Structure 1
């Protein structure tokens, strides 16, 4: 049996199936990127909920795995060379899982880097900007009398959606005609924007029909339906 005792995180979240990939996460846009990818690839995995309500993410056990105290993180007991590998940062995990399975990342180098560039577009733009909009539109920031911060993130979100709209007007999926990790990175955030953040109206989401069509196609994938609810 695989031994994960070298990882302190395993003392707080005990693995029932240590031979499977261990996922430490929450069903947030960043978290479900990895659960969707795992569902899409069919890799056996065991999910563990990292509860922000009880500050699990700041516990010594979790910080030993991810010093940035964010989710998601993984331990792959069957990493490179057959040795366990721990990883954090959702974009890095997506690339790793794509390379491990040979799925959702083109083999052709040019196409591969085109997909990766759109993953970086999400990591550097869509995630931070949509997240800030959520804060100022739905959470504590909505009570600020000064609406300039909110309007700044509304404008930037619209700009990013326009970039996506232009790309999707030319291709079926973000990085081309094939579904890739770029879509798995981006569409959980778009889904969150119009769903959990309830910001569709304020950003004029109906002005981006290609984005909405691709989002609907994304939502209909069985792996997406499953992954959006993991960990329960």
Structure 2
């Protein structure tokens, strides 16, 4: 099935049955492949599909008139985006590929019909959006109140945990395709400062880096340093709520 990453993510929030999987397969989507460093969506563009990342990484961003860019968040396999197509015709931000990306494009009418249901699949789908809002709130806190070292450590741990959810990372390593410029644009830093902080994290024994890979040498100490508490992922709350049948 083309929606493996999405299913892996949804299964954190609900026990999907054969009927749920059949409903996902019946959405009637198509696969679209996009090369690295290409815009999938441009702000102001009319939208005609709900998109799901199958493979690869992408980034939501907005650009100021003088060319400065703020990356709003990173999109990983299993992430659903551009739900605004269900209520509005135009995109209010842009999305660019970080790596080569494979997308699953879903027709809005089919998604609307699915969301009108009341089953576990619909609830799990909405919880993914609640979680994305939580990620955006953490992004505000990171960039508004944390030091550069705290911001980078926190982002790395968040991306590692998110990648684990969809089976894209192991216990202590993360393939990290973001460039230092992209990390800087995500965290409101300069590329030079980002490079210095990454080297400091290596020097202080928190991580080691090798090409596009990061290995966490002491994830607990890194989490303590940057005040990373994964409770904002709400994974335990999702499972407890589903067990109660609410």
Compare the two structures and name the one with the higher helix fraction. Answer: 1
Using structure 1 for the length normalisation, give the TM-score: 0.31
